Amino acid sequence: MTPTLVNAPAHVAIIMDGNGRWAKQRGLPRAAGHKAGTDNLRRVIEAAVELGIRILTIYAFSTENWQRPA
């Protein structure tokens, strides 16, 4: 049975933040945090499709990130 929302929003926006901090707190390299964020984003996209959310906006990178380590 596929879950549905009676009044699903047409547009959901997500700001990804904290993947590097998540990794650091676990003693992992930042790249591990970025991978975990990507894995979670895939699950979010699949859930949005299942719930009938038509538009999904993801903000995952800002120009400030160019100054941060990989």
Please give the pLDDT value at position 61: 77
Specify whether the CB–CB gap between 5 and 49 falls below 8 A.
no
Kindly state whether residue 31 falls inside one of the protein's structural domains.
yes
Please give the pLDDT value at position 57: 97
Q: If the chain, 70 residues long, is cut into consecutive pieces of 10 residues, what is the mean pLDDT of each piece?
A: 72 93 95 94 95 93 73
What residues are labeled active site?
17, 65
Kindly state whether residue 21 falls inside one of the protein's structural domains.
yes
Helix or strand run (H / E) with residue 17: none
Kindly state whether residue 35 falls inside one of the protein's structural domains.
yes
Kindly state whether residue 56 falls inside one of the protein's structural domains.
yes
Structure tokens at 15: 């700001």
Is the pTM higher than 0.85? The answer reads no
Selection from 4, 34, 38, 7 nearest residue 21 by Cα: 34
Structural domain count of the chain:
1
Structural domain range at position 21: 11-61
Please give the pLDDT value at position 14: 95
C-alpha dihedral sign at 21, 26, 29, 32: negative
Please give the pLDDT value at position 54: 93
Kindly state whether residue 16 falls inside one of the protein's structural domains.
yes
